[in-house]
Structure formats: structure tokens, C-alpha cells
Structure 1
Amino acid sequence: MSAREWQKSSFSGEGNACLYVSALDNATIRLRESDQPNTVLTTNPAALSALIRSAKKGQLDHISKG
């Protein structure tokens, strides 16, 4: 996938709160939200995988409870 190709998350649905992902190469992943497309988070596959595993386990639930 080239740097210009963004793939919309299958969990985003049809609303405005959509997550897009772009893989520049095997070591760089970029993420952005549809409502702020110029703000891009850059990470690597290992770090993103660790974040997703933590979220699935509920280890980040305390963050949204302010």
C-alpha cells in the first residue's frame, strides 16, 4: 500500500468517526481519523499490536472513565 492509500477500518461504519490505516512499508503504520485527516499517528506493527491486545483485554478501560 502506498503512502497515499488509506484503508478505512471495517468497524467504522458510515458515520464521521472513521479510522483509516496506511502501511508505508513493513515497519511503518500510519493512523488517522476522518474528522482530523491532517493529524497522523505513526507507529510500528509491534507497538500497534501491543496496543490492540491491551485494549481487547480491557487494560485501557480506566482511561475513558476520566
Structure 2
Amino acid sequence: MTSPAWQKSSYSGSSNACVEVRAADGVVELRESDEGDVIVRTTSLKFATFLQGAKAGEFDHLTATP
């Protein structure tokens, strides 16, 4: 069985400096495109909860520029 293809956000445009994600069998994997051998794995439920927080702005302070 082959793994699903990695997907990046359409907001990344043609940039290769992005976070990529793929999911299969209830597991979500994330990696940075320039560090492809380092993979973070989590459950679909935990990832969905994280995305809800991100959409609600809970992590905006991490991306704000001074």
C-alpha cells in the first residue's frame, strides 16, 4: 500500500518553504517541505482540534511580527 501524497496549502503559492500534510487510517502526518525526513504524527481528532483553534485565532500571537 502506498502512502497518500503530501499536500501543501494553496496559500503557499509556488514556494517550497511550507508545511505539508497527509492523512491515512486516522493518522495525520506533518512535515516542513525543506526538512522532509522529520515527520510529526498525530490523530485526526487532535489535528481537527488544533485546526479549530488556529481558525479561531488562538495562535495568532505566534506569527505576529514586532
TM-score bracket, shorter-length normalisation: 0.7 to 0.9
- Structure with more helix by fraction: 2
TM-align CA RMSD: 2.3
Structure 1 ranges of 4+ moved more than 3 A: none
Residue equivalent to 1:38: 37
* TM-score (normalizing by structure 1): 0.73
Mapped partners of 1:30, 1:24: distance in 2? 9
Mapped partners of 1:8, 1:61: distance in 2? 20
Structure 2 residue matching 1:59: 3-state secondary structure = coil
Q: How many pairs align?
A: 65
Is there any run of 5+ residues in structure 1 with no aligned partner, and where?
none
- Whether contact under 8 Å (1:2, 1:22) holds in the other structure is no
Residue equivalent to 1:21: 21
> What do the CA deviations read for 1:2-54 (whole angstroms, capped 9, x no partner)?
336323333321012232222231x2111111111111110111111111111
The percentage of counterpart residues that share the same residue type is 38
Is there any run of 5+ residues in structure 2 with no aligned partner, and where?
none
